[in-house]
Structure 1
Protein backbone atom coordinates (compact mmCIF):
# COMPACT_ATOMS: atom_id res chain seq x y z
CA UNK A 1 0.00 0.00 0.00
CA UNK A 2 1.49 3.35 -1.07
CA UNK A 3 1.33 6.14 1.48
CA UNK A 4 2.05 9.86 1.19
CA UNK A 5 4.07 11.48 4.01
CA UNK A 6 2.62 14.87 5.03
CA UNK A 7 5.05 15.67 7.84
CA UNK A 8 4.62 15.49 11.63
CA UNK A 9 4.38 11.69 11.37
CA UNK A 10 1.22 12.01 9.30
CA UNK A 11 0.63 9.57 6.46
CA UNK A 12 -2.29 9.23 4.06
CA UNK A 13 -3.18 6.32 1.81
CA UNK A 14 -2.41 7.39 -1.81
CA UNK A 15 -5.41 5.55 -3.22
CA UNK A 16 -7.73 7.32 -0.79
CA UNK A 17 -6.00 10.64 -1.48
CA UNK A 18 -6.46 10.20 -5.25
CA UNK A 19 -10.10 9.24 -4.79
CA UNK A 20 -10.67 12.30 -2.60
CA UNK A 21 -9.11 14.61 -5.24
CA UNK A 22 -11.26 13.08 -7.99
CA UNK A 23 -14.36 13.48 -5.84
CA UNK A 24 -13.58 17.15 -5.19
CA UNK A 25 -12.99 17.82 -8.90
CA UNK A 26 -16.26 16.09 -9.79
CA UNK A 27 -18.17 18.11 -7.19
CA UNK A 28 -16.68 21.36 -8.47
CA UNK A 29 -17.66 20.38 -12.00
CA UNK A 30 -21.24 19.72 -10.92
CA UNK A 31 -21.38 23.03 -9.06
CA UNK A 32 -20.12 24.90 -12.12
CA UNK A 33 -22.62 23.14 -14.39
CA UNK A 34 -25.45 23.91 -11.98
CA UNK A 35 -24.41 27.54 -11.80
CA UNK A 36 -24.28 27.87 -15.57
CA UNK A 37 -27.66 26.18 -16.02
CA UNK A 38 -29.19 28.79 -13.69
CA UNK A 39 -27.98 31.86 -15.57
CA UNK A 40 -28.72 33.44 -18.93
CA UNK A 41 -27.39 36.39 -20.88
CA UNK A 42 -30.32 38.62 -21.79
CA UNK A 43 -29.45 41.09 -24.53
CA UNK A 44 -30.96 44.57 -24.60
CA UNK A 45 -29.11 46.21 -27.49
CA UNK A 46 -26.97 45.23 -30.47
CA UNK A 47 -25.99 48.17 -32.68
CA UNK A 48 -23.54 48.28 -35.58
CA UNK A 49 -22.03 51.43 -37.09
CA UNK A 50 -20.47 50.87 -40.49
CA UNK A 51 -17.58 53.12 -41.58
CA UNK A 52 -15.98 50.63 -43.98
CA UNK A 53 -16.63 51.16 -47.68
CA UNK A 54 -16.49 47.49 -48.71
CA UNK A 55 -19.00 46.43 -46.02
CA UNK A 56 -22.61 46.73 -47.19
CA UNK A 57 -26.13 46.01 -45.95
CA UNK A 58 -25.20 45.59 -42.29
CA UNK A 59 -27.94 44.26 -40.01
CA UNK A 60 -27.32 43.67 -36.28
CA UNK A 61 -30.19 42.67 -34.03
CA UNK A 62 -31.40 40.99 -30.87
CA UNK A 63 -33.81 38.17 -31.68
CA UNK A 64 -37.35 39.48 -31.22
CA UNK A 65 -38.61 36.15 -29.86
CA UNK A 66 -35.61 35.21 -27.71
CA UNK A 67 -33.49 37.91 -26.08
CA UNK A 68 -30.74 35.35 -25.44
CA UNK A 69 -29.82 35.31 -29.15
CA UNK A 70 -27.99 37.76 -31.39
CA UNK A 71 -27.77 37.75 -35.17
CA UNK A 72 -25.86 39.79 -37.74
CA UNK A 73 -25.74 39.84 -41.53
CA UNK A 74 -23.55 41.87 -43.87
CA UNK A 75 -22.07 41.81 -47.35
CA UNK A 76 -18.45 42.21 -48.44
CA UNK A 77 -17.94 43.78 -51.86
CA UNK A 78 -14.17 43.13 -51.83
CA UNK A 79 -11.72 40.72 -50.24
CA UNK A 80 -10.56 41.47 -46.70
CA UNK A 81 -6.86 40.66 -46.39
CA UNK A 82 -6.40 41.66 -42.75
CA UNK A 83 -8.47 42.93 -39.85
CA UNK A 84 -7.75 44.14 -36.32
CA UNK A 85 -10.16 43.77 -33.41
CA UNK A 86 -10.39 46.15 -30.46
CA UNK A 87 -12.64 45.09 -27.61
CA UNK A 88 -13.70 46.41 -24.23
CA UNK A 89 -16.04 45.09 -21.55
CA UNK A 90 -17.58 47.57 -19.11
CA UNK A 91 -19.62 46.78 -15.98
CA UNK A 92 -21.13 49.03 -13.29
CA UNK A 93 -19.13 49.49 -10.11
CA UNK A 94 -20.66 47.85 -7.05
CA UNK A 95 -20.98 51.24 -5.39
CA UNK A 96 -23.42 54.12 -5.32
CA UNK A 97 -21.12 56.22 -7.51
CA UNK A 98 -23.00 55.30 -10.70
CA UNK A 99 -19.69 55.00 -12.53
CA UNK A 100 -18.53 52.20 -14.79
CA UNK A 101 -15.49 49.96 -14.53
CA UNK A 102 -13.55 48.65 -17.53
CA UNK A 103 -13.21 44.94 -16.82
CA UNK A 104 -10.77 44.46 -19.67
CA UNK A 105 -9.69 46.18 -22.87
CA UNK A 106 -7.30 45.02 -25.56
CA UNK A 107 -6.54 44.70 -29.27
CA UNK A 108 -5.64 41.66 -31.34
CA UNK A 109 -5.08 40.34 -34.85
CA UNK A 110 -8.47 39.19 -36.13
CA UNK A 111 -6.99 36.90 -38.78
CA UNK A 112 -4.79 35.14 -36.22
CA UNK A 113 -7.82 34.73 -33.97
CA UNK A 114 -9.79 33.12 -36.81
CA UNK A 115 -6.91 30.86 -37.78
CA UNK A 116 -5.98 29.66 -34.29
CA UNK A 117 -9.47 29.68 -32.76
CA UNK A 118 -8.05 30.69 -29.38
CA UNK A 119 -7.29 33.96 -27.61
CA UNK A 120 -5.26 34.95 -24.57
CA UNK A 121 -8.43 36.39 -23.06
CA UNK A 122 -10.74 33.50 -22.26
CA UNK A 123 -13.93 35.54 -22.72
CA UNK A 124 -12.90 36.57 -26.24
CA UNK A 125 -12.27 32.94 -27.13
CA UNK A 126 -15.69 31.94 -25.80
CA UNK A 127 -17.42 34.71 -27.76
CA UNK A 128 -15.61 33.70 -30.98
CA UNK A 129 -16.53 30.03 -30.51
CA UNK A 130 -20.20 30.89 -30.04
CA UNK A 131 -20.21 33.31 -32.98
CA UNK A 132 -18.86 30.67 -35.36
CA UNK A 133 -21.38 27.98 -34.37
CA UNK A 134 -23.93 29.20 -36.92
CA UNK A 135 -21.90 31.28 -39.35
CA UNK A 136 -20.55 30.98 -42.87
CA UNK A 137 -17.47 33.10 -42.09
CA UNK A 138 -14.23 31.51 -43.27
CA UNK A 139 -11.90 30.38 -40.48
CA UNK A 140 -8.96 32.16 -42.06
CA UNK A 141 -7.96 35.27 -43.99
CA UNK A 142 -8.33 36.51 -46.63
CA UNK A 143 -12.12 36.66 -46.34
CA UNK A 144 -13.71 36.46 -49.78
CA UNK A 145 -16.50 38.80 -50.96
CA UNK A 146 -20.08 37.71 -50.47
CA UNK A 147 -22.96 37.59 -48.03
CA UNK A 148 -21.87 36.65 -44.50
CA UNK A 149 -23.85 35.95 -41.36
CA UNK A 150 -23.74 35.11 -37.65
CA UNK A 151 -27.05 33.70 -36.43
CA UNK A 152 -28.45 32.76 -33.01
CA UNK A 153 -25.33 33.70 -31.06
CA UNK A 154 -25.73 32.89 -27.37
CA UNK A 155 -22.57 33.81 -25.48
CA UNK A 156 -23.29 31.97 -22.23
CA UNK A 157 -22.03 28.62 -23.55
CA UNK A 158 -18.74 28.08 -21.75
CA UNK A 159 -19.04 31.41 -19.94
CA UNK A 160 -16.89 31.57 -16.79
CA UNK A 161 -18.54 31.74 -13.39
CA UNK A 162 -16.66 34.70 -11.94
CA UNK A 163 -19.16 37.32 -13.13
CA UNK A 164 -22.17 37.84 -10.83
CA UNK A 165 -25.59 39.02 -11.95
CA UNK A 166 -24.82 42.34 -13.58
CA UNK A 167 -25.42 44.66 -16.47
CA UNK A 168 -22.61 45.00 -18.98
CA UNK A 169 -21.65 46.79 -22.18
CA UNK A 170 -19.29 45.28 -24.74
CA UNK A 171 -17.58 47.28 -27.48
CA UNK A 172 -16.20 45.37 -30.48
CA UNK A 173 -14.52 47.41 -33.19
CA UNK A 174 -13.21 45.82 -36.39
CA UNK A 175 -10.54 47.81 -38.22
CA UNK A 176 -9.01 47.52 -41.67
CA UNK A 177 -5.24 47.35 -42.07
CA UNK A 178 -5.15 51.08 -42.89
CA UNK A 179 -6.54 51.86 -39.42
CA UNK A 180 -9.29 54.11 -40.79
CA UNK A 181 -12.06 51.91 -42.19
CA UNK A 182 -13.99 50.18 -39.43
CA UNK A 183 -17.22 48.64 -38.20
CA UNK A 184 -18.09 49.45 -34.59
CA UNK A 185 -20.50 47.38 -32.53
CA UNK A 186 -22.08 48.00 -29.14
CA UNK A 187 -23.76 45.24 -27.16
CA UNK A 188 -25.65 45.80 -23.92
CA UNK A 189 -27.13 43.07 -21.79
CA UNK A 190 -27.60 41.48 -18.41
CA UNK A 191 -26.35 38.30 -16.82
CA UNK A 192 -29.46 37.13 -14.98
CA UNK A 193 -30.69 34.18 -12.97
CA UNK A 194 -32.86 32.05 -15.28
CA UNK A 195 -36.14 32.31 -13.35
CA UNK A 196 -35.70 36.05 -12.86
CA UNK A 197 -35.28 36.43 -16.62
CA UNK A 198 -38.41 34.35 -17.24
CA UNK A 199 -40.44 36.53 -14.85
CA UNK A 200 -39.14 39.68 -16.51
CA UNK A 201 -40.15 38.40 -19.95
CA UNK A 202 -43.58 37.38 -18.68
CA UNK A 203 -44.50 40.59 -16.86
CA UNK A 204 -42.60 43.22 -18.84
Structure 2
Protein backbone atom coordinates (compact mmCIF):
# COMPACT_ATOMS: atom_id res chain seq x y z
CA UNK A 1 0.00 0.00 0.00
CA UNK A 2 2.87 2.33 0.80
CA UNK A 3 4.31 1.93 -2.69
CA UNK A 4 0.88 2.45 -4.21
CA UNK A 5 0.50 5.79 -2.42
CA UNK A 6 4.07 6.72 -3.25
CA UNK A 7 3.65 6.02 -6.94
CA UNK A 8 0.55 8.17 -6.98
CA UNK A 9 2.77 11.03 -5.82
CA UNK A 10 5.86 10.13 -7.86
CA UNK A 11 4.10 10.37 -11.20
CA UNK A 12 2.54 13.67 -10.29
CA UNK A 13 3.48 16.99 -11.82
CA UNK A 14 1.98 20.42 -11.34
CA UNK A 15 -1.37 20.53 -13.13
CA UNK A 16 -4.78 22.04 -12.54
CA UNK A 17 -6.97 18.91 -12.60
CA UNK A 18 -8.51 17.59 -9.44
CA UNK A 19 -9.02 14.04 -8.24
CA UNK A 20 -11.30 11.97 -6.11
CA UNK A 21 -11.00 8.38 -4.98
CA UNK A 22 -14.24 6.66 -6.00
CA UNK A 23 -13.80 3.11 -4.73
CA UNK A 24 -11.32 1.02 -2.80
CA UNK A 25 -10.83 -2.58 -1.80
CA UNK A 26 -8.19 -4.30 0.29
CA UNK A 27 -7.42 -7.96 0.94
CA UNK A 28 -4.69 -9.53 3.03
CA UNK A 29 -3.71 -13.18 3.37
CA UNK A 30 -4.65 -14.69 6.74
CA UNK A 31 -1.06 -15.91 6.84
CA UNK A 32 0.07 -12.28 7.30
CA UNK A 33 -2.90 -10.26 8.61
CA UNK A 34 -5.73 -10.79 11.04
CA UNK A 35 -7.72 -7.90 9.58
CA UNK A 36 -7.67 -5.29 6.85
CA UNK A 37 -10.22 -2.65 5.99
CA UNK A 38 -10.23 0.15 3.44
CA UNK A 39 -12.89 2.83 3.02
CA UNK A 40 -13.43 6.28 1.59
CA UNK A 41 -14.71 9.42 3.27
CA UNK A 42 -17.59 11.44 1.81
CA UNK A 43 -14.92 13.71 0.25
CA UNK A 44 -13.26 10.75 -1.48
CA UNK A 45 -10.28 10.49 0.88
CA UNK A 46 -8.70 7.08 1.54
CA UNK A 47 -8.65 5.37 4.95
CA UNK A 48 -7.01 2.04 5.67
CA UNK A 49 -6.54 -0.18 8.74
CA UNK A 50 -4.21 -3.19 8.66
CA UNK A 51 -3.42 -5.57 11.50
CA UNK A 52 -0.15 -7.21 10.42
CA UNK A 53 0.61 -10.37 12.41
CA UNK A 54 3.79 -11.52 10.71
CA UNK A 55 7.05 -9.75 9.91
CA UNK A 56 7.50 -8.80 6.26
CA UNK A 57 11.15 -9.34 5.33
CA UNK A 58 13.46 -8.95 2.35
CA UNK A 59 12.08 -10.75 -0.67
CA UNK A 60 8.71 -8.99 -0.50
CA UNK A 61 7.69 -7.81 -3.96
CA UNK A 62 5.11 -5.31 -5.20
CA UNK A 63 3.42 -5.07 -8.57
CA UNK A 64 1.69 -1.76 -9.31
CA UNK A 65 -0.54 -1.47 -12.37
CA UNK A 66 -2.36 1.63 -13.60
CA UNK A 67 -5.40 1.00 -15.78
CA UNK A 68 -7.68 3.45 -17.60
CA UNK A 69 -11.43 2.91 -17.84
CA UNK A 70 -12.47 2.67 -21.50
CA UNK A 71 -15.79 4.00 -22.80
CA UNK A 72 -17.20 4.40 -19.28
CA UNK A 73 -17.77 0.65 -19.05
CA UNK A 74 -16.15 -2.01 -16.90
CA UNK A 75 -13.33 -2.47 -19.43
CA UNK A 76 -9.88 -1.26 -18.46
CA UNK A 77 -6.76 -0.77 -20.54
CA UNK A 78 -3.37 -1.19 -18.84
CA UNK A 79 -1.24 1.96 -19.09
CA UNK A 80 1.76 0.59 -17.19
CA UNK A 81 2.76 -2.11 -14.75
CA UNK A 82 5.86 -2.18 -12.54
CA UNK A 83 7.15 -5.07 -10.47
CA UNK A 84 9.72 -4.24 -7.82
CA UNK A 85 11.57 -5.50 -4.77
CA UNK A 86 9.64 -3.66 -2.03
CA UNK A 87 12.38 -3.43 0.61
CA UNK A 88 15.08 -2.45 -1.87
CA UNK A 89 12.83 0.23 -3.37
CA UNK A 90 12.09 1.70 0.07
CA UNK A 91 15.82 1.79 0.94
CA UNK A 92 16.71 3.50 -2.33
CA UNK A 93 13.88 6.04 -2.12
CA UNK A 94 14.85 7.03 1.41
CA UNK A 95 18.39 7.82 0.16
CA UNK A 96 17.19 10.25 -2.51
CA UNK A 97 16.41 13.70 -1.15
CA UNK A 98 13.55 14.43 -3.56
CA UNK A 99 12.03 10.98 -3.09
CA UNK A 100 12.38 11.37 0.66
CA UNK A 101 10.19 14.49 0.50
CA UNK A 102 7.50 12.56 -1.40
CA UNK A 103 7.72 9.63 1.00
CA UNK A 104 7.28 11.99 3.95
CA UNK A 105 4.10 13.27 2.30
CA UNK A 106 2.71 9.73 2.19
CA UNK A 107 3.82 9.00 5.76
CA UNK A 108 2.05 12.11 7.13
CA UNK A 109 -1.32 10.39 6.50
CA UNK A 110 -0.63 7.40 8.73
CA UNK A 111 1.86 5.20 10.50
CA UNK A 112 3.04 3.01 7.61
CA UNK A 113 6.43 1.33 8.05
CA UNK A 114 9.31 3.19 6.43
CA UNK A 115 11.82 0.33 6.33
CA UNK A 116 12.08 -3.43 6.16
CA UNK A 117 11.68 -5.63 8.00
CA UNK A 118 8.10 -4.47 8.57
CA UNK A 119 7.17 -5.60 12.07
CA UNK A 120 3.80 -6.96 13.18
CA UNK A 121 1.65 -4.02 14.31
CA UNK A 122 -1.50 -2.05 13.58
CA UNK A 123 -0.96 0.25 10.59
CA UNK A 124 -3.31 2.90 9.28
CA UNK A 125 -3.80 5.66 6.75
CA UNK A 126 -6.25 8.48 7.44
CA UNK A 127 -7.81 10.91 4.96
CA UNK A 128 -5.20 10.39 2.22
CA UNK A 129 -5.84 12.51 -0.86
CA UNK A 130 -3.96 13.69 -3.88
CA UNK A 131 -3.42 17.40 -3.78
CA UNK A 132 -5.12 19.23 -6.67
CA UNK A 133 -1.81 20.35 -8.20
CA UNK A 134 -0.38 16.83 -8.13
CA UNK A 135 -2.32 15.06 -10.86
CA UNK A 136 -0.14 13.29 -13.44
CA UNK A 137 0.09 15.86 -16.25
CA UNK A 138 0.22 13.20 -18.97
CA UNK A 139 -3.11 11.62 -18.00
CA UNK A 140 -6.33 12.97 -19.51
CA UNK A 141 -9.41 13.52 -17.36
CA UNK A 142 -11.19 10.23 -16.77
CA UNK A 143 -11.47 7.21 -14.52
CA UNK A 144 -8.52 5.05 -13.53
CA UNK A 145 -7.77 2.01 -11.41
CA UNK A 146 -4.55 1.51 -9.47
CA UNK A 147 -3.90 -2.13 -8.57
CA UNK A 148 -1.24 -2.97 -5.97
CA UNK A 149 -0.26 -6.61 -5.34
CA UNK A 150 2.24 -7.57 -2.63
CA UNK A 151 3.71 -11.08 -2.62
CA UNK A 152 6.68 -13.37 -2.08
CA UNK A 153 8.06 -15.36 -5.00
CA UNK A 154 9.19 -14.69 -8.53
CA UNK A 155 7.42 -12.03 -10.63
CA UNK A 156 6.25 -14.52 -13.22
CA UNK A 157 6.41 -17.62 -11.05
CA UNK A 158 3.59 -20.00 -10.37
CA UNK A 159 4.30 -20.35 -6.67
CA UNK A 160 3.67 -16.81 -5.48
CA UNK A 161 2.55 -16.34 -1.86
CA UNK A 162 0.07 -13.50 -1.72
CA UNK A 163 0.48 -10.99 1.11
CA UNK A 164 -1.99 -8.21 0.28
CA UNK A 165 -3.84 -6.60 -2.61
CA UNK A 166 -5.15 -3.04 -2.79
CA UNK A 167 -7.30 -1.49 -5.49
CA UNK A 168 -8.04 2.23 -5.80
CA UNK A 169 -10.41 3.75 -8.35
CA UNK A 170 -9.64 7.40 -9.06
CA UNK A 171 -11.41 10.02 -11.08
CA UNK A 172 -9.38 12.88 -12.55
CA UNK A 173 -11.45 15.88 -13.64
- TM-score, normalising length: structure 2: 0.73
Cα distance in 1, alignment partners of residues 72 and 56 from structure 2:
45
Residue in structure 1 matched with residue 117 of structure 2 by the alignment? 142
Cα offset, 1:160, TM superposition: 2.6
Residue in structure 2 matched with residue 55 of structure 1 by the alignment? 33
Residue 100 (structure 1) aligned with residue 76 (structure 2): yes
Cα distance in 1, alignment partners of residues 26 and 74 from structure 2:
26
Structure with the greater alpha carbon radius of gyration: 1
- Which consecutive unaligned segments of at least 5 residues does structure 2 have? 1-12, 95-99, 154-158
Out of 119, 125, 129, the position equivalent to 1:154 is 129
Residue in structure 2 matched with residue 121 of structure 1 by the alignment? none
- CA RMSD of superposed structures (Å): 3.0
Residue in structure 2 matched with residue 166 of structure 1 by the alignment? 142
Cα offset, 1:62, TM superposition: 0.9
**Higher RCO structure (Cα 8 Å, ≥6 apart):** 2
1:130–1:154 CA contact under 8 A, matched in 2: no
- TM-score, normalising length: structure 1: 0.63
1:127–1:155 CA contact under 8 A, matched in 2: no
Q: 1:127 to 1:47 in 2, by over 3 A?
A: farther
Give the SS at the match of 1:140: coil
Give the SS at the match of 1:181: strand
Cα offset, 1:48, TM superposition: 0.8
Q: 1:45 to 1:96 in 2, by over 3 A?
A: closer
Higher helix proportion (structure 1 or 2): 1
Residue 45 (structure 1) aligned with residue 23 (structure 2): yes
Runs of 4+ with >6 A deviation? 95-98
Q: 1:160 to 1:58 in 2, by over 3 A?
A: same
